[in-house]
Structure 1
Amino acid sequence: MKKLSKYGYKALFFCPSLSNKISQHVPPLHLSSHTLFPKDNFFITYGKAQVCAYTSPATHQLFDKMPQRRIQDFKNRKGDEIFELVNMVKEKPDILSASQVHGLVLKVGMLAHLPTVTTFLIIYSRAKNLSSSMTLFAEIVNKDIVTWNAIMTACIENNFFGFAVNIFAEMVNEGKQFDSATLVIVISALSNMRELRKGLVVHCLSMKMGMLLDSILGNALIDFYAKCSHLSSSECVFLEIECKDVVSWNSVISGCLYNCHPEKSLLYFKQMATLEKGADSVSLSCAIAASACLDEFGCGQAIHGWGIKLGYEERRHLSVANSLISLYSQSGDADAAEYIFNKMEYMDIITWNSMINGFALNGKISDAFDALHEMQFIRTTEPDAVTLISIIPLVAEFMLLRDGKAMHAFTMRRDMGAELSMMNALMDMYFNCGRVKDAEQLFLNMPKKDKVSWNTIISGYSQNGWCREAQSLLKKFHSGNSECSLSTLLGILPACDSPNLIQFGKLIHSWEVKLGFVNNVILVNSLMYMYICCGDLVASFKLLEGIAYTADVDSWNTVISGCTQTGHFWEALNAFKLMRLKSNIIHDTITLVNIIPAFGNLELTCEGKSIHALALKTSAGQDIRVQNALTTMYGKLSDMESATSVFELCLYHNLCSWNCMISALAQNKNSKEAIEFFHLLDFEPDEITMATILSACRQLGIIRHGKQIHAHLIRSGFYINAFVSAALVDMYSSCGRLDIAHQVFQSSAERSIAAWNSMISAYGFHSNGQKAIDIFHEMIDSGLTPSKVTFINLLTACSHTGLVDQGFWYYNHMLDEFGVQCSTEHHVCMVDMLGRSGRLHEAYSFIKELPSPPDPGIWGALLSACNYHGDLQLGKEVASILFLLEPENVGYHLALSNIYVATGSWKEAGELRDIVHIKGLKKSAAYSIIDLGSS
C-alpha cells in the first residue's frame, strides 16, 4: 500500500487539477516507455533553411473528434464525471495521470465502454507509450471503425507507419468496414513510408468504394503523390477534386515546391489568389519560398505586402516569418531579414536556422555565431542538424578547427552521427582545415555513405595533395557499381596536378565525354586547369577554343590563373590579350588578381604600370585584392616607391596587405624596413607574416631577432605550421646555427615539402652534401614527391661539396624517377657544379647540347667558373656571347676584366674597364652587416 500511496501522490503532483476528482488511490499500470519520435511535419528545404509548408490533416483531427461520441451506456452523473476526467487527461496526457485514471475506470467498470477505451488509446499514444495502446486495443472485443482508426493513428503518431498499414490489412482481412477517414490514415502512413505501389492500391480502393468525394481523402492523396515524387499524379488528383478547399490548394502548392518545381507552385498560388477564400499562412509561406528558389525577390516582396493586407502579419504567423527571413537573406537584404526576426513574438528552431543561414549568406560571420550562442544559452533552443549544417561551412571556410571540433563533439553527444549531411559537412570541414587523417577516420566510421560522402573524401584528398589516395578511392567507388556524377569528376581533377599524372587526367577527360558532360562549362574549366597543371597547355587552349561561343569570364580566368600559378607567364599574358579582344567578355577582379603577378614575374615594368592604370579605370582598382596584387607586383619589379604608394593609398588594409608590403621589402633586401613595418602591424600576425619576417631576419643574419620570433611562434602555436618551421630552418642555417636548424626540423609535427627543401639547402650551405643526399632519400621514403626547388637545393649541395657524379645521376633521373621537369635553374646548377670542379669544357659542351637556347644565367655560371679557374680563352668566348645577350649587365664585364688581371693581361683589362666607364655601367656597392647585440 505504501507503493500505491507513492504513485497516488505523484499523480496529484503532476496533475493538481485532478486532486478533487480522484477519491482514492488505485494501482497504476506498469507500462514501458518508448523513444519520443518527432511528429510528421512536411518541411520544405531551400538553401539551408526550412519552412513548414504543410501538415497532413489525417492524424490529429481524428483524435480530437473522438471525444464528441456521446455516452450511451452510462447516463448517470458518476459516469459523466469520469468520462470528463478521462477527457481532461487526454488534453494533457501524462503517463502517471493516465495510469491513475485508467485504474479508476477499470474499478467502476467503464472500460467496456467503447468511447472511453478508445480515448485511452489516444491518451497512451500521446504519452508516447504505444505498447500500452496496442495491448489495450487487443483486449477490446467489439471494435468499431473509430477504434480501428484510433490505433492506426496512434501508430502514425509514434512513427510506426508499417504497423498502421499492417493493422489496416488485418482490418480488411477480418471483413471490417472502413470509411474515408480510415483511408486518409493509411495514405498518411504510406506517404511517410514513400510506398507508391501500395498507395496506388489504396487509391484504387477508394475509387471502387466511391469515397473520393471526400475532400480530406483527396487532399491526403495529393500530399501522398507529392511526397512520393509523383507530381503529375498529385496534380491529376487535385484537378479531379470538385470542391477544393484551402488545404487542397496548399497541398498542391507545397507539393510542387517539394518536387523542385517552384514555378508551378507560384502558378497555383496565383490561381488560388483569385478565389474568394484567398490564401492562408501556409499558402503564403510556400509562395514566398518558391519566390526565393526562383530568385524572384520582387515577387516575394509583393506576396509579403499582400499577406500583410490579408492580416497575416509576420509577427504572429511563424511559417510566413520564417519564409520571409530566408527570402530577404537570399536577396542580400540581411537588415530586412533581421528586422523581421527581431519583431517575432515566438521563434522556433526553423526561425533560428533561417536567421543563422541568412547571416552566413551575407558574410556576417560574427552575427551568425552570436545568434547560435543566443539561441542556445539565452533562448534555450537546442540546435538541430540544419543549424549545424548552416554553421559548419563557415567553420570550414575560416579554418576554425577548434570550433569545428566542438561542433563534432556536440553531434556525438546529441546522437546525430546518423545524419549523413552532418557527417559530410564535418568531413569537409576537417579537409579544409588540413586535418586529412581526422576526415578519413570520420569517413571510415560512417555506418552509411552516400554519393556526397564519397565525393567529399575524393575531393578532400585531391585538394590536400593526397593524389594517389584520391585516385585509389575513385577506383574503389566506381568498382562498387556506383555511378559517377559531375561532382565526382570535379572532385578528382585536382588530383591530376603534375606531368606524371596526365594519363590519369586524360582518362577522366574520356570519362567525362562518355558520360555526356562535354558541354558543361564548369567541368571544361576544370579540365583546362588540369591540363595546364600537367604541362599540356596545347590541350588546355584547344578546350578553350572548343567552347569559344559558350565560354564565360570564368573560363578565361581559369586559363589565366592556371598559367600564372604554374609559371607560364607569357602564356597568361597572351590569354589575357585574347580575352580582351572578345566583345562579350569583360575582365573582372579575379582576372586582374591573376594577371598582375605575371607582369611582376616577367619584370615588365611598363606593362605593369599599364595594368595598374587599367585597374584604376574600373571599380576593380579599389578592390583590396587587386591592390595587394599590385603591391606584390611592384615589389618584384624592385619599384618600392610605387609599392609603398599603392599600400599607403589603400582606403583600408587587411592582414594580407601588410604581408604583401613586408614581403616586398624583404625581397628587395630592405630587411631592416621589413622589420620596422612588422613592428607597426595593426593585426595579429599569421603564419605568412611570420615566415616572411623570418626571411628578413635570415637576410640580416640577426639571430636574436629570429629567436624572439621563434619564442612568439611557440606561444601562439604557429610553430607547428610546416611553412613556418621551414622558414625557421632557413633562418637558423643562414645564421650559422645548423644544430638548432636540425632540432627545429626534427621536432616539426608535420613536415611539408618546404621543410625538407630547407633542410637539404641547409646541409648544402654548410658543405655537407652527403647529409643533404641522405635527407633527400628520407623525404622520398616518407612518401613525399620532390619539387623543382628540391632538386635545385640538392644539386647545389652536390656542387658545393664536389659530388659531381652523384649530381649528374640526380639530374639525369629527375624526370623518369621523380617526375620533375628540368628547368633553367637546374641547368645553372649543373654548369656551376662542373665549373667548380674544373671541368669547364664539359660544362661548355653541356650548354651547347641543351635542347633550347640557353638562358644568360647559364652562360653567366660558366663565366664565373672561368674567372675562378683563370681560363682566359674560354672566358672570352663565353663573355662575347653574354655581351650580345645582356650588353648592359656590368657583372659580365667585370668578370672578364678579373680574368684578364688574373692572367696578366693588364692592357685588355684596362680597355674593358674604359668601355664600362664610357657606357656608364655601375655595379651596386657591396656591404657587410655586423650585429652588435648578443646572439
Structure 2
Amino acid sequence: MCLSTQSVRKIPIAAFLGRASSTQHRISYPNANGTSQHLLPFQSHSCNSNHKHFLPIKPFSTAFHLFDKMLHREQTLENTRFCDVLDLVKLSAMKPNIMTVKTVHSLVLRIGVLSHLATSTSLLITYSRAGDFGSSVSLFGEILYKDVIFWNAMMTACVENRCFGAALDFFVEMMEGRSGFDSGTLVIAISALPNTNRLIQGRVLHSLSVKAGMLLDSFLCNALVDMYAKCGDLRSSEHMFEGMHCRDLVSWNSVIRGCLYNKSPEKSLLYFKNMAFCGKQADDVSLSCAIAASTCLGELGIGQVIHGLGIKLGYEEGSHISFANSLISLYSQCGDIEAAETVFRGMVHKDVISWNSMINGFASNGMIFETFDVLHEMQLAGSIQPDTVTVVTLLPLCAELILLREGRSVHGFAVRRSMDSDLLVVNSLMDMYLKCNKVNAAENLFNVMPDRDLVSWNTVISGYSQNGLSREAQTLFKELLSWCSHWSLSTLLAILPSCGSPESFKFGKSIHCWHLKLGFSNNMLAINSVMFMYINCGDLKASLSLLSRISAVEDTACWNAVITGCTQNGHFWKAFETFNLMRKSHVGHDTITLVNVISTCGNLELAVEGKLLHGLSCKTLEGTDIRVQNALITMYGRLGEIESAKSVFGLSSNHNLCSWNCMISAFSQNKDGKRALEMFCILDFEPNEITISSVLSACTQLGLLRYGKQVHAYAFRFGFQRNSFISAALVDMYSNCGRLLIAFQIFQNLPEKSVAAWNSMISAFGFHNNGEKAIEVFNQMIESGTSPTKSTFINLLSTCSHLGLVDEGQWYYHHMLDEFGVEPITEHHICMVDMLGRSGRLDEAYEFIKKMSIRPEPGVWGALLSACNYHGDLEIGREVAEILFRLEPYNVVGYYVSLFNMYVAAGRWSDAAELRRIIQDKRLKKPAGYSLIDVGCG
C-alpha cells in the first residue's frame, strides 16, 4: 500500500529525525575506482560495525535482504532485447560480482534502458551486495524519476552496508520530496534505528505507522518490537508485541531475543514457554535464545531440557550452527566443558563463532593448554581463521595468568592480520602488557593510537596504578579530564588505587569529591574503593566514618574493604576489631573475610583467636577453600605451631603452588631448614620465585652451600636470579656459607640493584667484619639514588656495633630521620644499646634508654642486660633484670641465665645458688645449642 505525501505533509519529520541540512558536513563513501561519493550524515559514526560474535543468535532479518521480499512493479517490456537485459541484471544480482555488474551496467547504458526503474533498481542493489556501495549512491543520483521501490532499494543498500544514519537521511529526503512511502519504507527505516540508538525517532516512526494505518503489516510490527527492545525500551517492545493481532514466529523470536538483549533472561524463558503453549513450534533462533537465557541464569538443567527439545524438533546440534554454538556456551559457562567439547566435535560445519565459543569455554574453565590447542587446530583447519573476537578472548587469559610470551604471539598475529587498528584489540593488548608489568609496551600502543575511547584511558590509568606508578596515573587522569566531559565508574575505580600512600591523601580527597559530584555516592563498589583509599592514605577515621554512614545498606563487601585495607596496611588490631563489629552487626562473612582476619591473627600472634577462626571456617564449610587453608598454614607458621600448619596442609586435598610455598616458608621461618628442603624435594609443581626465595633462606640457616648452589643453578636456568628478593637471598646464602667473594660478584653483576640487594650486601660485609666496606656500600647506595629503609639501618648499626664503630653508628642513628627520612624503631634502639654496651659505655647506654621518647621494649633492656653480663656490671645488671622479670614473666629463662652468670663472675655464690633454685622451681630450661656439618660440601 502506498500513501500519498499529502496525508503526512503536516508531520515535521525532518525536525523529529534530526536530519542534517545540505550545507552541513558530509560523509564520503569510496567507489570502486577510488573516488568518493558524498552523503548527508544522520550520525557521523553510524557506519561503525559492532562485533557481537559471542551471542549465538541470528539477527532480526528485516534489516537485511528486506528489499527481496517487497512487491515489485509490473512493467510492460517493449522488446525481447530489453527483456533479455533485465533477466541478465537479475541474474547478476543473484551472485553479485563487481566485474559482472559493471559489464551489465555498460550493456544497460549501451541500449539506453537505465531509466527503466526495474533495471536501475536491480543494478543499485547488485552494486551494494557486490561491495561497491559508492557506485550504488552514484547510480541513485543519476536517476531523475524515482518511485517508492527505488527509494526503498537505496535505503536497503545503506542498511546492508551498515550505514544506518545515511539510510535515515534518505528517508527524510524521500519524505520531503513527496515521493510517498509504503510499509516497507517504514520497516527499513525502523530497522536502521537500533544501530543509531535513536529511540525518540523510533517513536516518531511508530506514530507515523499508526497514522498511516499500516500496523496490520506483520513485518512492520515485528520491526517495531525489535527496535524498541534494541533501543533499551523493553516495556514498549512488550506492549507492541501484546497489541499485535497476528503473531508469527518472527514476532515471538523478536520479543524473546529482546528480553535477552535487555538482560531479562527470566522473561525470555517465560516468552519461550508461552510460545509453546500458543502452539508455535520453536526454530533454531528461538532455541538459541532460550539456551542463551539459560546460560545467563546459570541454569544447566533448563538448558539441557531445551537441548532435548531441539533434538526432538529435528534441530540436531551437528547440523544447525547457531543452535550448537549456544549449547557450547551453555555447557562451558556451567562448567561442563566435556559436554561442550562433545557438541563442538560433533558439528559438521563450524563457523568462527563455534571456534571462539570453544576457545572461550576452555579459557573460562582455566584449561590453558587446551585453549591454545584449539586455537592451533583452528588455524590448521584453513577454512576459518581467527578474528578479532578470538584475539580479545585470548588476551585477557594471557593477562590474568601473566603469559607474556603467548600474549606477544597473539599481538604478532593481530599485526599480521591487520587487526592492530581495532580499538577493542588495542585496549586488550594494553591491558595484557600492563598486567604483565610491561608498562613501556602499553605506553607505546597508547601513544600511537589514532582514536582512543574511554576504555583506552581507563586501561592505562588502571595499569599505572596497579604497577605503582601513582604519579603517572594521576597525570594521565588530569589529561583525561581535559579530553572528554563524560566518565564512568571504571574511571573512578582506575584512579583510586593510585592514592596508596599519605602523600596522595590530598589528591584522594579530591577524587572522593569528584565521586560525589558524578552521582556515585550510592554505588557500593565506589564506596568500598573510597574506603580502601582512605585506609591506604592512613586516614582510618574517614574510612570507618564512611562505613558507619552506610550501615543501613552495608554488605559483606563493605566490611571486607575495611578489613582488607587494614590488614594490607599493617593496622592489624583495627582489622580484628572491625571483624568483631561485623559479627555483632549480623553481617555474614565470606572467604575474603576469613583470609584477612586469619592473617591478622598470625601477625598479632593471637593463637587462641586464630584457632577459633579455624573452627569457624570448618563449621561454615569455608575451610575447604584453598585460600583459607593457605592463610591457616601461614598463620600457624607465624605462631610457631609448625605441626598444626602441617596438619592443615596434610588434610587438604587440592594443594596449589601457594600451599607448598606457605608450608616451605613456615618451616623456614621456624628455623627448620631441613624439613623445608625435604618439602622442596617432593614439590608437585614447578617452583616460582617465592619457592626459590624460601628454599634459599633454608640453605642459609643450615649453611648448606652444596644445596644452595643447586638452587642457584635452578634460579639461573629459569631467569629467577633477576628477581630482587632472590638476588638478595643469594647474597645472604653465599655470605652466611663463608663465600663473601661470590656474594659480592652476584651483587656487582645485578643489572638493577634493589634495596633488598643493597641491604644484604651491607649485612654480608658486616657479618664478615669488614665495616669499612659495609659503609662504602651504603654510600654507593645513596649515590645510586636508592632510598635506604629501616632494614638498611638495622644492618648498618649492627655492623658498627660488632666492629666497635661507635661514633659512626651514633651519627647514622641521629641522622636517620632528618637526612634519610627513616624513623627509628625498636630494632634500631636495640642496636644502639648493644653498640654502647659492647664498648663498655654501660652508663651511657642506660641513660639512652631512660631518655627514649617511647616506652622501651623488652628487647632494648635485654641488650643492656647482655652487655652488663659481658662486662660484669652486677649493679646495673640486677636492676635491668628486675625490670625484665616484670615485663616478660613468661619469657625470662635467658635473663635468669645472664644474671646467674653475673653472680658467678662476681663470686656471689649464695645469690647464684638462690637464682638456680628459682630456675628449677619455675622449671625453666634454656634450649640447647647445636652444630651442623655438611659432609662433602663444596
> Which category of TM-score, normalised to the shorter sequence, fits these structures?
0.7 to 0.9
Instruction: State the shift of 1:402 in Å.
Output: 1.0
Structure 1's unaligned 5+ residue stretches are: 1-29
Cα distance change, pair 436–783 in 1 and its aligned pair in 2 (3 A): farther
Instruction: State the shift of 1:691 in Å.
Output: 1.0
Report the counterpart of residue 404 of structure 2 in structure 1. 401
Query: Residue 55 of structure 2: SS of its match in structure 1?
Result: strand
Instruction: State the shift of 1:60 in Å.
Output: 0.8
Matching of residue 892 in structure 1 with residue 892 in structure 2: no
State whether residues 870 and 903 of structure 1, in contact with CA within 8 Å, keep that contact through their aligned partners in structure 2: yes
Aligned partner letter, 1:464: N
State whether residues 140 and 154 of structure 2, in contact with CA within 8 Å, keep that contact through their aligned partners in structure 1: yes
Instruction: Measure, in 2, the Cα distance between the counterparts of 1:389 and 1:759.
Output: 45
Instruction: State the shift of 1:406 in Å.
Output: 1.6
**Structure 1 counterpart of 2:498, from 491, 495, 498:** 495
Report the counterpart of residue 714 of structure 2 in structure 1. 712
Matching of residue 72 in structure 1 with residue 76 in structure 2: yes
What does the per-residue CA deviation read over 1:344-366, in whole Å, with 9 as the maximum and x for residues that have no partner?
44332233333333333344444
Q: Answer with 811-820 or 348-357: which moved more.
A: 811-820
Q: Answer with 631-640 or 107-116: which moved more.
A: 107-116
Q: Answer with 396-405 or 438-447: which moved more.
A: 438-447
Instruction: State the shift of 1:536 in Å.
Output: 4.8
Instruction: Measure, in 2, the Cα distance between the counterparts of 1:809 and 1:880.
Output: 32
State whether residues 797 and 831 of structure 2, in contact with CA within 8 Å, keep that contact through their aligned partners in structure 1: yes
Report the counterpart of residue 450 of structure 2 in structure 1. 447
What does the per-residue CA deviation read over 1:113-167, in whole Å, with 9 as the maximum and x for residues that have no partner?
5434433333332221234434444555655443343344334333344554555
Instruction: Measure, in 1, the Cα distance between the counterparts of 2:543 and 2:198.
Output: 49
Instruction: Report matched runs for 1:103-122 at 5 Å.
Output: 114-122=117-125
Instruction: State the shift of 1:863 in Å.
Output: 1.8
What does the per-residue CA deviation read over 1:487-543, in whole Å, with 9 as the maximum and x for residues that have no partner?
334334433444454454455455545555455444444445445444555555555
Query: Residue 683 of structure 2: SS of its match in structure 1?
Result: coil
Report the counterpart of residue 472 of structure 1 in structure 2. 475
State whether residues 44 and 258 of structure 1, in contact with CA within 8 Å, keep that contact through their aligned partners in structure 2: no
Q: Answer with 195-204 or 329-338: which moved more.
A: 195-204
Cα distance change, pair 264–857 in 1 and its aligned pair in 2 (3 A): same
Instruction: Report matched runs for 1:489-528 at 5 Å.
Output: 489-512=492-515, 515=518, 517-528=520-531
**Structure 2 counterpart of 1:124, from 113, 123, 127:** 127
Instruction: State the shift of 1:694 in Å.
Output: 1.3
Instruction: Report matched runs for 1:401-440 at 5 Å.
Output: 401-440=404-443
Report the counterpart of residue 859 of structure 1 in structure 2. 861
Instruction: Measure, in 2, the Cα distance between the counterparts of 1:429 and 1:577.
Output: 39
Aligned partner letter, 1:51: P
Aligned partner letter, 2:697: S
Cα distance change, pair 541–898 in 1 and its aligned pair in 2 (3 A): farther
**Structure 2 counterpart of 1:826, from 825, 828, 836:** 828
Query: Residue 51 of structure 1: SS of its match in structure 2?
Result: coil
Report the counterpart of residue 61 of structure 1 in structure 2. 66
State whether residues 525 and 555 of structure 1, in contact with CA within 8 Å, keep that contact through their aligned partners in structure 2: yes
**Structure 2 counterpart of 1:389, from 387, 392, 398:** 392
**Structure 1 counterpart of 2:730, from 724, 728, 744:** 728
Report the counterpart of residue 702 of structure 1 in structure 2. 704
Report the counterpart of residue 667 of structure 1 in structure 2. 669
Query: Residue 52 of structure 1: SS of its match in structure 2?
Result: coil
Query: Residue 56 of structure 2: SS of its match in structure 1?
Result: strand
Cα distance change, pair 570–162 in 1 and its aligned pair in 2 (3 A): closer
Instruction: Measure, in 1, the Cα distance between the counterparts of 2:176 and 2:554.
Output: 65
State whether residues 34 and 130 of structure 1, in contact with CA within 8 Å, keep that contact through their aligned partners in structure 2: no
Instruction: State the shift of 1:40 in Å.
Output: 9.5
Cα distance change, pair 147–494 in 1 and its aligned pair in 2 (3 A): closer
Query: Residue 468 of structure 2: SS of its match in structure 1?
Result: coil
Cα distance change, pair 103–368 in 1 and its aligned pair in 2 (3 A): same
Aligned partner letter, 2:66: Q
State whether residues 58 and 181 of structure 1, in contact with CA within 8 Å, keep that contact through their aligned partners in structure 2: no
State whether residues 44 and 50 of structure 1, in contact with CA within 8 Å, keep that contact through their aligned partners in structure 2: no
Instruction: State the shift of 1:858 in Å.
Output: 1.6
**Structure 2 counterpart of 1:754, from 756, 761, 766:** 756
Report the counterpart of residue 8 of structure 2 in structure 1. none
Cα distance change, pair 185–147 in 1 and its aligned pair in 2 (3 A): same
**Structure 2 counterpart of 1:463, from 462, 466, 488:** 466
Cα distance change, pair 228–595 in 1 and its aligned pair in 2 (3 A): closer
Instruction: Measure, in 2, the Cα distance between the counterparts of 1:316 and 1:832.
Output: 83
Instruction: Measure, in 2, the Cα distance between the counterparts of 1:207 and 1:668.
Output: 82
Instruction: Report matched runs for 1:195-206 at 5 Å.
Output: none
Report the counterpart of residue 49 of structure 1 in structure 2. 54
Q: Answer with 664-673 or 495-504: which moved more.
A: 495-504
Report the counterpart of residue 7 of structure 1 in structure 2. none
State whether residues 31 and 129 of structure 1, in contact with CA within 8 Å, keep that contact through their aligned partners in structure 2: yes
What does the per-residue CA deviation read over 1:592-631, in whole Å, with 9 as the maximum and x for residues that have no partner?
4334444444445565555545545553344444443443
Cα distance change, pair 480–312 in 1 and its aligned pair in 2 (3 A): same
Instruction: Measure, in 2, the Cα distance between the counterparts of 1:673 and 1:204.
Output: 81
Number of matched pairs: 898
State whether residues 89 and 98 of structure 1, in contact with CA within 8 Å, keep that contact through their aligned partners in structure 2: yes
Instruction: Report matched runs for 1:794-809 at 5 Å.
Output: 794-800=796-802
Query: Residue 73 of structure 1: SS of its match in structure 2?
Result: coil
Cα distance change, pair 833–134 in 1 and its aligned pair in 2 (3 A): same
**Structure 1 counterpart of 2:360, from 353, 357, 362:** 357
What does the per-residue CA deviation read over 1:459-479, in whole Å, with 9 as the maximum and x for residues that have no partner?
322322223333333344345
Cα distance change, pair 692–202 in 1 and its aligned pair in 2 (3 A): same
State whether residues 55 and 292 of structure 2, in contact with CA within 8 Å, keep that contact through their aligned partners in structure 1: no
Q: Answer with 169-178 or 889-898: which moved more.
A: 169-178
Instruction: Measure, in 2, the Cα distance between the counterparts of 1:142 and 1:511.
Output: 58
Report the counterpart of residue 26 of structure 1 in structure 2. none
Cα distance change, pair 255–576 in 1 and its aligned pair in 2 (3 A): closer
Instruction: State the shift of 1:647 in Å.
Output: 3.6
What does the per-residue CA deviation read over 1:213-272, in whole Å, with 9 as the maximum and x for residues that have no partner?
544344444444544445566566656655454434444443444344555555655665
Report the counterpart of residue 32 of structure 1 in structure 2. 33
Aligned partner letter, 2:57: C
Instruction: State the shift of 1:183 in Å.
Output: 3.9
**Structure 1 counterpart of 2:883, from 881, 884, 887:** 881
Cα distance change, pair 637–120 in 1 and its aligned pair in 2 (3 A): same
**Structure 2 counterpart of 1:844, from 836, 843, 846:** 846
What does the per-residue CA deviation read over 1:56-82, in whole Å, with 9 as the maximum and x for residues that have no partner?
41441314668x767732553x66555
Instruction: State the shift of 1:740 in Å.
Output: 3.5
Aligned partner letter, 1:872: L
What does the per-residue CA deviation read over 1:264-307, in whole Å, with 9 as the maximum and x for residues that have no partner?
55565566555454554334433443454455666655655555
Query: Residue 725 of structure 1: SS of its match in structure 2?
Result: helix
Report the counterpart of residue 381 of structure 2 in structure 1. 378
Instruction: Measure, in 1, the Cα distance between the counterparts of 2:609 and 2:190.
Output: 72
What does the per-residue CA deviation read over 1:776-825, in whole Å, with 9 as the maximum and x for residues that have no partner?
67667777665543443344345455666665666567667766665433
Instruction: Measure, in 1, the Cα distance between the counterparts of 2:556 and 2:357.
Output: 32
Instruction: Measure, in 1, the Cα distance between the counterparts of 2:660 and 2:267.
Output: 52
Instruction: Measure, in 2, the Cα distance between the counterparts of 1:613 and 1:234.
Output: 54
Instruction: Measure, in 1, the Cα distance between the counterparts of 2:177 and 2:610.
Output: 89
State whether residues 41 and 56 of structure 1, in contact with CA within 8 Å, keep that contact through their aligned partners in structure 2: no
Instruction: Measure, in 2, the Cα distance between the counterparts of 1:73 and 1:255.
Output: 45
Instruction: Measure, in 2, the Cα distance between the counterparts of 1:436 and 1:237.
Output: 52
Aligned partner letter, 1:708: Q
Aligned partner letter, 2:76: Q
Aligned partner letter, 1:128: G
Instruction: Measure, in 2, the Cα distance between the counterparts of 1:715 and 1:864.
Output: 46
Aligned partner letter, 2:162: N
What does the per-residue CA deviation read over 1:814-840, in whole Å, with 9 as the maximum and x for residues that have no partner?
667766665433332333344345443
Instruction: Measure, in 2, the Cα distance between the counterparts of 1:291 and 1:927.
Output: 66
RMSD: 4.2
